[in-house]
């Protein structure tokens, strides 16, 4: 574009500031949200991939009561297996200023899921010493060379710290299953050579397997996934072991959790930008069509002066291209430093990586390019009809467009309508696109506002729901896996508690759906309750199985269908009819009474006891069978911390919704007002009062805003469900939005629009009738 036309471009942008600001803001927020989510998603995806590639993260882990070298040889003999190695894990203690829990991993070699060493010496078979995880070492100020006093399997021993490391099996690390709260550095994990085991006989409880033809980690191909699954099935058949469990890479707790988080963030990364880009495109059409119409004479003159059609076309296309490009780039930068930083920060609560940072992905570049191209194409389509005409034709004034009220004008109602209504109906019909853009903008604002209010209510309600309604206990005592029933029963009796068994299980339905979720078995008591989909408290079925709502959705089952389960530790399996669909915030899966479970010839092995009596925290360190004592207060704090990230996202959504709403309303208001200036001046000349004219403008606005708000509010609940289910795949909520939230969302969109329109229509009194009616152009 030429220099002078460039000047014209920037001055035109300035003189149509509000219209272009609206397009700018839509593009800004589209890229803001996209980049915010994408930077984190891409950062963690790359970190996961690099970390797993660097350390040769295992493809399959199989656990049982015990493996020996013969088992290892058997596994290695499988044609698809590249290598395998034994590992023994045990939760023990380290004596520091106070005792802390540490998971000891005894190994013969470390070629699969290798340690990532930060300092110290690399592991060599036969070496003494301990390799400790970085978070724990940092929290406890432990360094290489320190001698640690340890306890494992009731035997005390000491080891020098050989290295500070992290390990890909511990990307998401909870010391045992009774903890549901990741507290980085509060408990540790460590590696030692198997020769350093202080007890009598080391039992290897897991085998780590690496396959030949699996080269990728995060970007697993379908062939690689099916090879892993096939080999896992082969291993199940090959190894006839007690409590055998075979876990593929895809089902690994850490790997799966972060992959699911990445996926859910990617959903949000797509949905919101699509909405904003759509409104931006509508904004471009309405704005550019009007600017080109307004500059009809200038366009004709430029063509008459000899400017080619291409030059003139390029000049006008560049308006929206420049605005969307600048808006998109600035939005991406702002998204990176604010939303991206925030999301990244929340990821660090849960996931442990040697190095992780936000990254720019090709997705962002492609979407930015798409945005700019879409903006240019939309602009081209809006302007081409005028720009492609001959100079002489463009220089002639445009013939007036004759548009009535359509079919309405032919009905008997038309005759009974007053002047104001007729005027507005015709105006809406003449400016259908502007009206559509207005309705869409207000719909987005009201639905987003309602969604954010609803989400806020939901998160606040979760605490009450989970800890006061469903599980109103004061303490939860966690037990070492497979602690016998009599032992747990003693605690249950002492603390007047209720015994619960929670295990990972493979759930299947008759229609072939299979998922891995939690199978909960509940003993008699009133500290673990259930609610049906309406929120009413219900008892577990006396004969059948209860399925959580989200699990039922995944399994595609309903009341009366049959489901089967198989605990991953191979202790417990069965099937039964679904007799209840219950709602539960977490975990999702199936639940049944102890009697139903035992009727299936399973042994009840409770993992926790819930109680309302005070339980001393020292039980966890003093008693070998107790692994944790968690107070409800602590669980509430963990939940608050977990939901604080979502709350921040909700706050962002609300602020963006309000800004978008104000900008859309103001922009369309200005456009509409400018277009009507001559008509308003005519009405003033004819003697209409200012208040009467303002009412004409307000009436149309009430219709547009009212319709947009009504659609938005009706979509709000659906959007809330989509947002919350995307944010957390394992959680369920009672999706209810209070009348107060509806009222606030209504106020923010509808009333705000009336205010914006009132501000604009107040300019009616300032319209200079003589000036406004001068000349056609």
Residues that bind another protein (CB under 8 A): 2-5, 7-8, 11-12, 15, 297-298, 300-309, 390-393, 395, 777
Q: How far is the CB of 289 from another protein (least distance, A)?
A: 19
Smallest gap from Cβ 324 to another protein, in A, equals: 21
Instruction: State the residue for tokens 């081409």.
Output: 384
DSSP 364-381: HHHHHHHHHHHHHHHHHH
Query: Please, what is the minimum distance in Å from the beta carbon of residue 405 to another protein?
Result: 23
CB-nearer residue toward another protein: 298 or 659: 298
Angstrom distance (rounded) from CA 12 to CA 15 = 5
Q: How far is the CB of 775 from another protein (least distance, A)?
A: 8
CA terminus-to-terminus distance, the chain: 26
Which of 15/575 has CB closer to another protein? 15
The neighbouring-strand residues paired with 516 are: 506
Q: How far apart are CA 596 and CA 520, in angstroms?
A: 12
CB of 288 to another protein, least distance (A): 16
β-strand partners of 107: 87, 193
Q: What is the DSSP string of 391-410?
A: HHHHHSPPPPP----GGGGG
| CA distance readout (Å), 117 to 209, 321, 543, 559 | 21, 49, 53, 52
Question: Least CB distance from residue 730 to another protein, whole Å?
Answer: 57
Between 12 and 159, CB nearer to another protein: 12
- Kindly tell me which of 16 and 568 has the beta carbon lying closer to another protein: 16
Count Cα neighbours of 607 within 13 Å in the Cβ-side half-sphere. 13
Helix and strand totals (H; E) in the chain: 23, 21
Which tokens hold the place of 146? 């320190």
Q: Tell me how far the alpha carbon of residue 630 is from its chain's centroid.
A: 28
Please give the C-alpha separations between residue 706 and each of 227, 660, 701, in angstroms, as whole numbers.
Answer: 56, 17, 8
Minimum CB separation of residue 777 from another protein in Å reads: 7
Instruction: Please identify, using beta-carbon distances, which residue of 387 and 551 lies nearer to another protein.
Output: 387
Give the closest residue to 168 by CA, choosing from 64, 47, 86, 285. Answer: 47
Shortest distance in whole angstroms from residue 391 CB to another protein: 4
- Helix axes of 739-746 and 432-464: crossing angle, nearest 10 degrees: 150
Cβ 432 to another protein shortest distance, Å: 23
Residue 686 or 776 having the CB closest to another protein: 776
The angle that helices 296-305 and 253-294 make with each other, rounded to 10 degrees, is: 80
The SS3 assignment for 474 reads coil
Residue whose structure tokens are 């992780």: 356
Of the pair 15, 260, the CB lying nearest another protein is at 15
Q: Which is nearer to another protein, 305 or 362 (CB)?
A: 305
The minimum distance between CB 386 and another protein, in angstroms, equals 15
Q: For residues 82 and 678, which CB has a smaller minimum distance to another protein in the complex?
A: 678
Minimum CB distance to another protein smaller for 215 or for 774:
774
Cα 407 to Cα 404, 425, 741: the distances in Å are 9, 11, 38
């Amino acid at each position: 574009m030429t220099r002078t036309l460039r000047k014209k471009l920037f001055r035109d942008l300035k003189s149509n500031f509000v219209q272009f600001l609206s397009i700018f803001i839509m593009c800004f927020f589209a890229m803001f949200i996209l980049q915010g989510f994408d930077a984190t998603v891409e950062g963690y995806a790359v970190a996961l991939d690099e970390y797993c590639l660097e350390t040769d993260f295992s493809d399959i882990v199989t656990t049982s009561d015990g493996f020996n070298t013969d088992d290892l040889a058997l596994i290695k003999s499988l044609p698809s297996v590249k290598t395998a190695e034994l590992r023994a894990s045990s939760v023990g203690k380290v004596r520091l200023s106070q005792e802390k829990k540490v998971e000891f991993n005894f190994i013969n070699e470390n070629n699969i899921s290798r340690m990532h060493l930060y300092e110290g010496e690399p592991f060599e078979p036969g070496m003494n010493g301990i390799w400790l995880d970085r978070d724990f070492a940092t929290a406890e100020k432990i360094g290489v060379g320190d001698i640690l006093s340890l306890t494992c399997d009731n035997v005390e021993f000491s080891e020098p710290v050989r290295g500070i490391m992290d390990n890909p099996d511990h990307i998401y690390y909870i010391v045992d299953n009774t903890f549901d709260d990741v507290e980085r550095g509060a408990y540790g994990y460590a590696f030692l050579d198997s020769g350093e085991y202080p007890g009598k006989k080391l039992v290897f409880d897991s085998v780590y397997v690496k396959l030949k033809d699996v080269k990728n980690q995060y970007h697993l191909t379908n062939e690689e996934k099916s090879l892993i699954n096939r080999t896992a099935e082969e291993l199940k058949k090959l190894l006839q072991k007690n409590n055998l469990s075979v876990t593929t890479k895809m089902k690994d707790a850490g790997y799966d959790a972060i992959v699911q988080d990445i996926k859910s963030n990617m959903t949000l990364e797509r949905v919101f930008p699509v909405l904003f880009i759509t409104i931006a495109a509508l904004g471009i059409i309405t704005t550019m069509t009007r600017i080109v119409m307004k500059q009809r004479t200038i366009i004709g003159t430029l063509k008459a002066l000899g400017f080619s059609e291409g030059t003139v076309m390029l000049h006008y296309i560049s308006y929206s291209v420049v605005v969307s490009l600048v808006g998109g780039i600035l939005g991406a930068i702002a998204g990176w430093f604010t939303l991206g930083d925030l999301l990244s920060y929340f990821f660090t609560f849960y996931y442990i990586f040697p190095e992780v940072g936000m990254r720019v992905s090709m997705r962002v570049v492609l979407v930015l390019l798409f945005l700019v191209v879409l903006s240019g194409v939309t602009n081209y389509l809006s302007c081409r009809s005028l720009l492609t005409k001959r100079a002489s034709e463009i220089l002639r004034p445009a013939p007036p467009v004759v548009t009535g009220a359509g079919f309405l004008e032919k009905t008997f109602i038309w005759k009974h309508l007053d002047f104001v209504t007729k005027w507005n109906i015709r105006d809406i019909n003449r400016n259908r696109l502007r009206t559509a853009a207005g309705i869409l903008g207000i719909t987005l604002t009201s639905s987003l506002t309602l969604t954010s209010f609803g989400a806020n209510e939901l998160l606040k309600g979760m605490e009450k729901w989970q800890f006061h309604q469903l599980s109103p206990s004061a303490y939860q005592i966690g037990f070492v896996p497979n602690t016998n029933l009599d032992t747990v029963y003693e605690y249950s009796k002492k603390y007047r508690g209720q015994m619960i068994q929670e295990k990972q299980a493979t759930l299947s339905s008759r229609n072939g759906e299979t998922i891995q979720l939690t199978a909960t078995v509940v003993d008699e008591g009133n500290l673990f309750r259930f609610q049906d989909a309406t929120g009413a408290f219900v008892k577990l079925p006396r004969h059948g199985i209860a399925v959580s709502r989200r699990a039922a959705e995944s399994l595609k089952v309903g009341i009366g269908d049959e489901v089967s389960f198989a605990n991953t530790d191979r202790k417990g399996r069965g099937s039964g009819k679904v007799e209840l669909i219950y709602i539960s915030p977490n975990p999702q899966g199936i639940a049944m009474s102890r009697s139903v479970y035992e009727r299936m010839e399973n042994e009840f092995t409770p993992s926790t006891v819930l109680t309302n009596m005070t339980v001393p925290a020292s039980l966890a360190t003093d008693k070998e069978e107790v692994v944790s004592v968690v107070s409800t207060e602590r669980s509430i704090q963990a939940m608050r911390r977990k939901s604080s990230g979502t709350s921040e996202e909700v706050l962002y959504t609300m602020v963006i919704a309000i800004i978008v709403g104000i900008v859309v309303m103001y922009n369309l208001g200005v456009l509409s007002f400018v277009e009507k200036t001559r008509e308003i001046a005519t009405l003033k000349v004819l003697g209409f009062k200012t208040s009467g004219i303002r009412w004409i403008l307000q009436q149309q606005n009430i219709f547009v805003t009212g319709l947009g708000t009504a659609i938005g509010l009706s979509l709000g609940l659906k959007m809330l469900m989509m947002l919350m289910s995307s944010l957390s795949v394992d959680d369920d909520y009672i999706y209810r939005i209070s009348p107060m939230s509806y009222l606030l969302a209504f106020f923010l969109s509808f009333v705000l629009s009336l205010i914006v329109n009132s501000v604009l229509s107040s300019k009616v009194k300032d319209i200079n009738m003589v000036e406004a009616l001068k000349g056609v152009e």
